């Protein structure tokens, strides 16, 4: 079997090695000067390749059953064994699985060397914008083939695996051209949109709290129109980062795909933040009463000192329309209630998000429903897909590289059959 792989990223390298190990003759086309450019950036240079918690709820897309099927066929144990056999040992840190040395370069090197050792034909600086489907006949057979024309040659393949990634972070090479190749074969896309990114918010107070990091529970709500009521659509817990324009941090990244899709559909999006998640709603009034009795004469601007970041405490008082100079013991029961509400349900209107350059991944992509369980196209036999080009993305924490490896292994092995 003669296989072309378009894209030398995480999924393409995995697919290439898997197909070669099944006896196929493999060619990888990569339009960057080197393969694995995006992989080098991952996990802040440490490359978070997977996670101990493989619950399907960490993966997103319109066809969860199809995603689960791929992860069942090539589970984490399979991908870790694959890495292990190539010489990459792993370790766990706070649930994330990383290369033992915690260096993304090591992952790229190990995959690169495996490609070299298998005599996989690697064409770098080779941009593929067109793949032709031709019917080849000889005396006995009629076969559909794929023809790829590079600047110097015309090459014919039995099978093609599209591993072009998305259009997140274009300077790593993933420029969205894979979507065009998929469309040229008749495939439809779930609209690609940013995911795993920050959110921008309407209120003008953000510059005053920019740079603050605090433990929080972030809940997301959407509504179809101004007069409708908000529906709860998701919640994440973790370290919230406040920026000049809104909110960020892993908990926000993990919710961003819902917010971005909702904004694209012209829904209104609101976030409510629990700024003291370790103290329950029921416990908070007593906590505040005690606090006030401990520092009765202090001004309200100091009410939260030592509990929350100073500027955040000040903002809470201001948003409750209270004077910062008033004494803590001047607060009425009603005012204490309004402070508690602001702490537990700090609300903010979401207006936008980071763009494709500021997004770790793209949600949407080639519809999984147009693929068979082995990741072969239902529209064009011999055409396979793997990685982020598909309508699949995962939460922060190694889920996207797990998807790249699982889908890459499966597509590589199946295409080689």
Residues near ligand FAD (CB under 6 A): 6-12, 29-32, 37-39, 41-43, 48, 127-128, 163-165, 168-169, 172-175, 177-178, 360-361, 387-389, 398-401, 404
**Min separation Cβ 243 and ligand FAD, Å:** 17
Residue identified by tokens 């034909």 is: 121
How many CB atoms are located within 10 Å of the residue 90 CB?
A: 16
Nearer to ligand FAD, 120 or 315 (CB): 120
**Min separation Cβ 235 and ligand FAD, Å:** 22
Measured CA to CA, the distance from residue 354 to residue 358 in angstroms comes to: 5
Could you tell me the two tokens for 395? Answer: 């939460």
Nearer to ligand FAD, 29 or 83 (CB): 29
**Min separation Cβ 107 and ligand FAD, Å:** 10
Nearer to ligand FAD, 38 or 413 (CB): 38
CA torsion 216-349-358-58 (nearest 10°) is 50
Give, as one character, the DSSP assignment of residue 397.
T
Is the separation of the CB atoms in 248 and 205 below 8 Å? no
Measured CA to CA, the distance from residue 119 to residue 109 in angstroms comes to: 15
Is the separation of the CB atoms in 312 and 251 below 8 Å? no
Give the three-class secondary structure for 248: strand
Nearer to ligand FAD, 51 or 219 (CB): 51
Is the separation of the CB atoms in 411 and 15 below 8 Å? yes
**Min separation Cβ 404 and ligand FAD, Å:** 4
Nearer to ligand FAD, 198 or 304 (CB): 198
How many CB atoms are located within 10 Å of the residue 257 CB?
A: 25
Nearer to ligand FAD, 172 or 338 (CB): 172
**Min separation Cβ 160 and ligand FAD, Å:** 12
Nearer to ligand FAD, 180 or 265 (CB): 180
Is the separation of the CB atoms in 387 and 407 below 8 Å? yes
Of 282, 213, 303, 209, the closest CA to residue 252 belongs to 213
The angle that helices 284-294 and 333-344 make with each other, rounded to 10 degrees, is: 120
**Min separation Cβ 250 and ligand FAD, Å:** 11
Nearer to ligand FAD, 233 or 358 (CB): 358
**Min separation Cβ 66 and ligand FAD, Å:** 16
**Min separation Cβ 206 and ligand FAD, Å:** 23
Nearer to ligand FAD, 348 or 356 (CB): 356
Measured CA to CA, the distance from residue 2 to residue 406 in angstroms comes to: 21
Q: Which residue is nearest to ligand FAD (CB)?
A: 9
CA angle 143-145-150, nearest 5°? 155
Measured CA to CA, the distance from residue 36 to residue 109 in angstroms comes to: 9
**Min separation Cβ 272 and ligand FAD, Å:** 28
């Amino acid at each position: 079997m003669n296989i072309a792989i378009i894209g030398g990223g995480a999924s393409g390298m995995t697919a290439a090695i898997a197909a070669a190990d099944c006896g196929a003759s493999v060619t990888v086309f990569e339009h960057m000067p080197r393969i694995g450019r995006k992989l080098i950036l991952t996990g802040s240079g440490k490359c978070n390749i997977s996670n101990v918690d493989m619950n399907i709820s960490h993966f997103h897309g319109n066809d969860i059953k199809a995603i689960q099927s791929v992860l069942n066929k090539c589970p984490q144990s399979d991908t870790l064994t694959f890495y292990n056999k190539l010489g990459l040992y792993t370790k766990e840190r706070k649930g994330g699985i990383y290369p033992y040395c915690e260096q993304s370069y090591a992952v790229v090197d190990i995959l690169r060397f495996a490609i070299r050792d298998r005599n996989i034909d690697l064409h770098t600086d080779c941009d593929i914008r067109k793949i032709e489907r031709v019917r080849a006949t000889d005396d006995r057979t009629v076969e559909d083939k794929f023809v790829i024309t590079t600047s110097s040659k015309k090459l014919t393949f039995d099978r093609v695996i599209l591993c072009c990634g998305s259009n997140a972070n274009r300077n790593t090479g993933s420029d969205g051209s894979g979507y065009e190749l998929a469309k040229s074969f008749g495939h439809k896309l779930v609209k690609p949109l940013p995911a795993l990114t920050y959110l921008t918010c309407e209120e003008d107070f953000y510059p005053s709290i920019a740079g603050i990091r605090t433990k929080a529970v972030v809940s997301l709500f959407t509504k179809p129109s101004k007069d409708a009521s908000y529906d709860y659509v998701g919640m994440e817990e973790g370290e919230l980062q406040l920026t000049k324009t809104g909110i960020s941090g892993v908990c926000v990244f993990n919710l961003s795909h819902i917010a971005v899709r909702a904004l694209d559909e012209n829904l209104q999006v609101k976030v409510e933040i629990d700024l003291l998640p370790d103290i329950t709603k029921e416990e908070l009034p007593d906590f505040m009463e005690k606090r006030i009795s401990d520092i009765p004469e202090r001004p309200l601007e100091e009410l939260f000192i030592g509990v929350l970041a100073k500027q955040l405490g000040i903002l809470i008082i201001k948003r409750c329309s209270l004077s910062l100079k008033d004494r803590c013991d001047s607060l009425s029961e009603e005012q204490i209630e309004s402070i508690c509400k602001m702490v537990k349900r700090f609300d903010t209107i979401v207006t936008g998000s980071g763009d494709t350059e500021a997004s770790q991944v793209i949600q949407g992509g080639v519809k999984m429903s147009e693929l068979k369980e082995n990741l072969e196209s239902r529209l064009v036999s011999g055409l396979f897909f793997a990685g982020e080009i598909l309508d699949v993305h995962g939460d922060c924490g190694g889920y996207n590289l797990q998807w790249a490896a699982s889908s890459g292994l499966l597509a590589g092995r199946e295409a080689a059959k």
